[in-house]
A and B are shown apart, each in its own frame.
Chain A
Amino acid sequence: MIVTTTKGDMDDSLLEKREGTVDNENELTTWVEYWLGEELVHRSAHVTLKKMPNFAGGDTASF
């Protein structure tokens, strides 16, 4: 697979892939990084908002 990097398009076989996920009440986030040796050359992230959070114990927009 070709990956867009800071050094141009590269085949992912040349890169180290790292992935991660954050899942909490506010969001589900996944990210992917590609490293060329010690250098980060690509990072993408996808954040899915789950809901508008409450502030000060109440709905954000109640009256």
Chain B
Amino acid sequence: MANTQSMATSFLGELMTATHNFGASPIRAASTADTFKAALYLASATVNAATTVYSTTGEVTGTNYTAGGVTVTNATAPTSTNSSSTAGVGYWTPSASFVYTTVTLSTAFDAVLVYNSTQSNKAVSVHTFGSQTITAGTFTLTMPSNTTTTALLRLATT
């Protein structure tokens, strides 16, 4: 046997469940999963890696769309998988599509911000797609497969 320098792959998954704390942690009211939400943003907006928190600036507005977006269905906990003795990936994907029902969103939008509404609306990730408008219809955003290479959120070592 030989030892191999590496970050524990299990740690990657545990980061997504706040198992480890290297600094000042938020005060949690419960040990259950937080509530995450998904808000749509105009094509003219600026949401990106520098976005730290949900904001109504640049968010879509329209009939039957509620500011803040929809609640993310989270029925599958994050997991982690080794890809080698030195590498692995922790990953998570919402367990249902984001559905905005019977809305009218007349100004083009092309991004969704996933954020943590339990923890002061802190940003998680931004995902872009081809620009859309919706007229008295439904916008459905279906998630990628929850795998090590396609999951919506992936923390990987190489």
Contact = CB atoms under 8 A, between A and B. Distances in A.
Interface residues of A, number: 30
A61 interface: yes
A41 B157 CA distance: 49
Interface of A is mostly: strand
Given A52-B153, A59-B156, A42 B130 contact: no
Contact of B136 (A26, A41, A63): A41
A52 B137 contact: no
Given A47-B142, A49-B142, 15 more contacts: A6-B104, A43-B133, A43-B134, A43-B135, A45-B139, A46-B140, A46-B142, A50-B144, A51-B150, A52-B150, A52-B151, A60-B154, A61-B154, A61-B155, A63-B157
B134 A45 contact: yes
Contacts of A52: 125, 127, 144, 150-154
A37 B153 CA distance: 44
Interface string A31-63: 111000000111111111111110100011111
